[in-house]
Amino acid sequence: MHRFSRHYRLRYGGPVGKIALDLGVPCPNRRQGGCAYCRAAGFTPFYLAPGAPVTVQLAEGRRYLFGKGFVRYFAYFQQETPTAAPLDALFNACHTALADPACVGIIVSTRPDALPDAFLDRFADLAAAEEEREFWIEVGVQSAHDQTLARINRNHTWTEAAAALARIGERPRLGRGAHLIFGLPGEGREEMRATVERVVAAGIEAIKFHHLQVIAGTALARQHARRPVPLFAPDDYLRLLAELLTLVPERVVVHRLWSTAAPDLLVGPQWGLSSHELNVRLTAIMRQNGLRQGMHALSSR
């Protein structure tokens, strides 16, 4: 696999991590009920203090990462929908991060329907001015099937997601990533396979996979309490992941392979396995079956 960790270790000569940052602006989809599976607290790193100044968030993130042996990092605007914040606030935070030589670039995670041209143009200008840094936009696609998107209350369509990826691609200094969730209600193997094929065809350069998790306090948790939602057992998920990774071109950097939610809020699935253990199992599955990333990719762009 073309993993984030190895890709950037080779590029920078040491481990590169991500420092999650919070601009304190709620996702606009919360006004429409929010995504069925989403609760920000479930995916907030323990070192992140929402509401604290960005300088404090960066300092706490550095303390955590550098204590684990990392030497550089991406400033990762992950919480909620950062592009819903006033642009000056977002770009002031970007400049604060870029003032640190240990920051190798910026990743902004956002929704397809919250990607105004004003942000894209300004982000592209910043990328052009910071030639030694990388600038990525990670689009929350989740699924390429409109029926699924409606079921989980995403309030955007696959057409909007594809258009967002295309608009990012018009700015050559910006990298495109897609975030996908496997195991969404109503989807089987074929739907998940089609989603991977469609985002690959859209020309992405990075991808992040999650398995569906049920987080306490969400609409999905309430649904799960009434009628349990099918959830992956670890080996079933890893076998699916191994198969779908063969569709992802080798050039695409894999940023994440599974979800990690706050244990006290995680309803299920309760795997009880560390990332290291999951990595060992996934590697074994791929080796045993002669699989590698990109071997069945339809696009090598």
d(CA 35, CA 123) in angstroms, rounded, equals: 26
Angle in degrees, CA 297, 287, 278, rounded to 5: 95
Q: What is the pLDDT of residue 41?
A: 86
Q: What is the pLDDT of residue 295?
A: 97
CATH superfamily of 4-288: Aldolase class I (3.20.20.70)
Q: What is the pLDDT of residue 301?
A: 39
For 242, residues 6+ apart whose C-beta sits below 8 A from its C-beta are 282, 285, 286, 289, 291
**What would the 3-class secondary structure string for the chain be?**
CCEHHHHHHHHHCCCEEEEEECCCCCCHHHHHCCCCCCCHHHHCCCCCCCCCCHHHHHHHHHHHHHHCCCCEEEEEECCCCHHHCCHHHHHHHHHHHHCCCCEEEEEEEECCCCCCHHHHHHHHHHHHHCCCCEEEEEEEEECCCHHHHHHCCCCCCHHHHHHHHHHHHCCCCEEEEEEEEECCCCCCHHHHHHHHHHHHHCCCCEEEEEECCEECCCHHHHHHHHCCCCCCCHHHHHHHHHHHHCCCCCCCEEEECCCCCCCCCEEECCCCCCHHHHHHHHHHHHHHCCCCCCCCCCCCC
Q: What is the pLDDT of residue 300?
A: 42
Q: What is the pLDDT of residue 299?
A: 54
pLDDT in tens, the chain (301 residues): 999 999 999 999 999 999 999 999 999 999 999 999 999 888 888 888 878 999 999 999 999 999 999 999 999 999 999 999 999 999 999 999 999 999 999 999 999 999 999 999 999 999 999 999 999 999 999 999 999 999 999 999 999 999 999 999 999 999 999 999 999 999 999 999 999 999 999 999 999 999 999 999 999 999 999 999 999 999 999 999 999 999 999 999 999 999 988 899 999 999 999 999 999 999 999 999 999 999 999 754 3
Q: What is the pLDDT of residue 168?
A: 98
